[in-house]
Every structure is written in structure tokens, then in C-alpha cells.
Structure 1
Amino acid sequence: MHKKFQLPTIIAVIFSLSSACSMAAESVDLAVSGTIAPASCTPLLASNGEINYGQIKGDALDQNNYNLLESRQLAFTLTCSAPAAVALRAISARIGSTVTEGSEGSRGFAPAPIALFGQAAGTIPAAGLGYYDTNKKIGGLAARLISADTQADSKQVSQLVSNNNGASWTAATAGAPLLLNDGLTSWGTAGSQTPVPFTQLTGNMEVQPYLDKASNLSLTRAIELDGLVTFEVVYL
């Protein structure tokens, strides 16, 4: 009787211990994480991108014609952490201030009313030089990269332009302007219409400002030129 009475108890205890061990089983997780980082590119202009014309004599300005200032050049580099196909988008920070005989586009550029870069008046887009006396315009500026000087990873490249946000590209004319209201600028090998990946682009940016007719300027006081254009890197 004693054995028969104890057996169910022993079995019950064993089952209970087995169940407890199963519930108490320990575990460890393996997690894999990280970030696949795209190449990053940094544009740089010599002299911190600043061009100072110093004092411009008001009495030397033409009363009845637009006044062209001497063009200046700045070394330009675009350096990437790995080979990348990129483009530049230009945006004026002085929207509404361009002296023009036309109208400004969405990024603040308007046809220059004077011949620039050897091109006829009204053909080169320009950005404004800011205002004086709150709302009086001063002039404009245009910018381009010197084609002969532009290289990607030490190889000559040609300028490309896209007017549909990079969906397609066409070859630009030599020294085409960079200040485009609806376009992007990139670079490809000679004869190609596809942007080429690179780790470093080098060249020289030529900047050409102009001033309004002296008859439209208040020359009894100092007028500060205040042009500012931002160039954004677009990853393709």
C-alpha cells in the first residue's frame, strides 16, 4: 500500500520539475545593424567664395547704359568620399533684385540686359546684387565654369544640362551658364550625355557682374553690392 500510494506522488513531482525547467529555459538574441552610407560630396570655392570689388567710382559709371564690371575667377573643387555622379543646382539668395529687361524665374535668375561671356544681351541668366534703400536694385551677376579647365579625376569633361531634374541630359555649349532657373548642371566624358562618377572635380568659376545705368542709381550715397548665390549638390 505504501509503494502504491507514493508512486503517483513521485511521478507528479517529476512532471512538475520537468515543466519548470522547460519554462525557465534561457535565450540570447543575435542582432545585425549598420548603415549603408552614400558617398558625400563637398563643394569648395577659393577665397571662401567671396569677390570684393572694393570702391567703384560712381562718376565713372555710364549714365545711359548698363555697366560691366571686370570678370573674376575663383578655383572650384567638388570632392566626394567615393566615386559619385552628381549635379549642381544654383539658387539666388537675392530673389527679386536682378536688374533685367525680362522677368525672374523660380530660382531668382533673369536674362542679363547686357552682353556677358561673349553672348548677346538677354541670353545669359543673372542673379541680383541685392537692394539699397529697401527696394532699389543695383545690378546682377552671372557665373560659369571655364570649360577648358574643368576636369574630373584629372580627365577632361564636358558640361551637361538637364531640364527635367536629371531624368535626361544633353550636352551644354562650352562655358554654359550655371545659374539656371529650371536646370541642373553635371559633367560627362567627351561625346557622352551621361553624368560620369568622380571623386574630385576641379575647375575655375568665372563671375561676371554688371551694374544698372547710373541714371537709375542714387549716387549721392554709398551703395553696397550684396550678391549671393547658393550652389547645392544633387546626388544622381
Structure 2
Amino acid sequence: MKTIQHALTMKLIVLTSPLTFAASSTDLTVTGLITPVSCTPSLSNNGLIDFAKISRQDLSVDKRTRLRDQTLDLSIQCTAPARFALMMHDNRDGSAIVNSEIYYGLNHDSSGNKVGLYSLNFDPSTTVVDDLPQVFRTDSTVGGLAWSSSNGRPIPIGARSFLGFTNVAGSSAGPIAIRNLTSRVTLETVISPTSALDLSTEVPLDGSATLDIIYL
């Protein structure tokens, strides 16, 4: 009898306990918007910056050396006015000597040492948008959910921040629709100290990045 009573007691506990079963399914939702507008970016000289050969004597032994700044002309042509932003993807990710979204790597030498870094800097004062009298930049670190107050200060193009353009100073409304944009961007390059590099053979500067247009 004791065995039977114990079994009945257990059964009552199970029947009176709240259900705690885990769900055996979940939903997946896919959203998006296909836009008929397309924008094409291009850089002068096919986006190539060539420093040619640099003598080790022109580089610091124990400090980083900044090379002479270089410029490229940036053009963005859209089939119709479009709201967009810029980002840049480092194709040599992890090789910059400073870990920051605004710095991109120059790859490694034969011993695996990081060669240096560079940044690509946008200046509103050298930018022309359609027939607007003046251009300001605005940026977003939250994927376009909020925008910084627009201003005319230069800014590096980041790998995790949106860079947009507007004709209103002090606005946090985000980028305006643009059809044609031209600007001159500046490349700033820094090389590691020669004491941190393997110079037993020639060391190539091997930077590569992709400039992306983000439609808003």
C-alpha cells in the first residue's frame, strides 16, 4: 500500500503544477526595401595611392613616422536624389597599429609585424553637392537611428559609423537626398618605427579598403 500511495501522490503533483514546457518553434521575419535609385562612387586614379620606394633612413627608428598626406577626388553619382551615407571596410582588418574604427591597416611584414595605418578624411569645405551653396557633415554611430549635429569640421570615414551630408548647419535630422556629390578626400598615413619592423627584405605598404554606400 505504501508504494501505491506514493505513486498517486506524485501523479497529483504533476497534474497540479503549472506547465513550464519550452516552446518548440520560433519565428523568422525578413524585411527590407528594394529601391529603384542607385548611386555609384568613384575615386580618382582608380583609388590608388602609391608612395613608391621609401628609404629606411627617412623613417624613425623608435617613433612612428607620418608620411606626406595624399589626396584623391571622390565622386558619387546617383540616378535620382537619394539619402545615403558612407562607410569604409578594411580589407586588411586587424593589421592597423592602432585599434580604432577610423584607422585601416597596411598589412604585415614577413615576420608578421604590423606595418602601419592610414585614414581617409572627408572635408565639407572641399565638397560640392548638387547646386547647394554649402555642405555640412553629420554622422551616426547607431546605424542611422540618431545623427550628430551637422557641422563643417573634417572627419575620418569610419568602419562602424555612418557619414552623411546635409545643407543645414546644426541639424540632427540626418542626411538630405543628394544626386551628385564631389569632394577631395585626404589620406593620412603612418608607418611603424623601423625597430618594430623586419627590414631584412623590402616591406610593401599593402593597404586595401572598400568604400561603401549605405542607402537610408
Say which of 166, 170, 177 aligns to 2:156: 177
Say which of 28, 34, 48 aligns to 1:50: 48
Unaligned runs of 5+ in 1: 1-35, 110-124
Does the CA-based 8 Å contact 1:127-1:179 persist in structure 2?
Answer: no
Aligned AA (2:163): T
Change (3 A) 1:172 1:71: farther
Q: CA offsets per residue over residues 153-191 of structure 1, 9 Å max, x none?
A: 0322111101111111113561011124x3100001132
Say which of 159, 163, 188 aligns to 2:137: 159
Structure 1 range deviating more: 50-59 or 166-175: 166-175
Change (3 A) 1:189 1:172: closer
Say which of 128, 131, 137 aligns to 2:108: 131
Say which of 52, 62, 67 aligns to 2:65: 67
**Structure possessing the higher radius of gyration over alpha carbons:** 1
Matched, 1:225 2:205: yes
Aligned AA (1:235): Y
Does the CA-based 8 Å contact 1:158-1:171 persist in structure 2?
Answer: no
Aligned AA (1:190): V
Distance, in Å, in 2 between the alignment partners of 1:66 and 1:188 is 36
Runs of 4+ in 1 over 6 A off after TM superposition: none
Aligned AA (1:176): I
Among the aligned pairs, what percent are the same residue? Answer: 27
Match in the other structure for 1:145: 122
Matched, 1:41 2:58: no
Aligned AA (2:186): E
CA RMSD of aligned residues (A): 1.6
SS at the partner of 2:92? coil
Does the CA-based 8 Å contact 1:77-1:202 persist in structure 2?
Answer: yes
Match in the other structure for 1:81: 79
TM-score of the superposed pair, with normalisation by structure 2: 0.78
Aligned AA (2:46): N
TM-score of the superposed pair, with normalisation by structure 1: 0.72
Distance, in Å, in 2 between the alignment partners of 1:171 and 1:90 is 21
Distance, in Å, in 2 between the alignment partners of 1:164 and 1:224 is 36
Unaligned runs of 5+ in 2: 1-33
What is the deviation of 1:37? 4.9
What is the deviation of 1:59? 1.9
Q: CA offsets per residue over residues 201-235 of structure 1, 9 Å max, x none?
A: 11001001110011111222101101111111111
Distance, in Å, in 1 between the alignment partners of 2:154 and 2:182 is 14
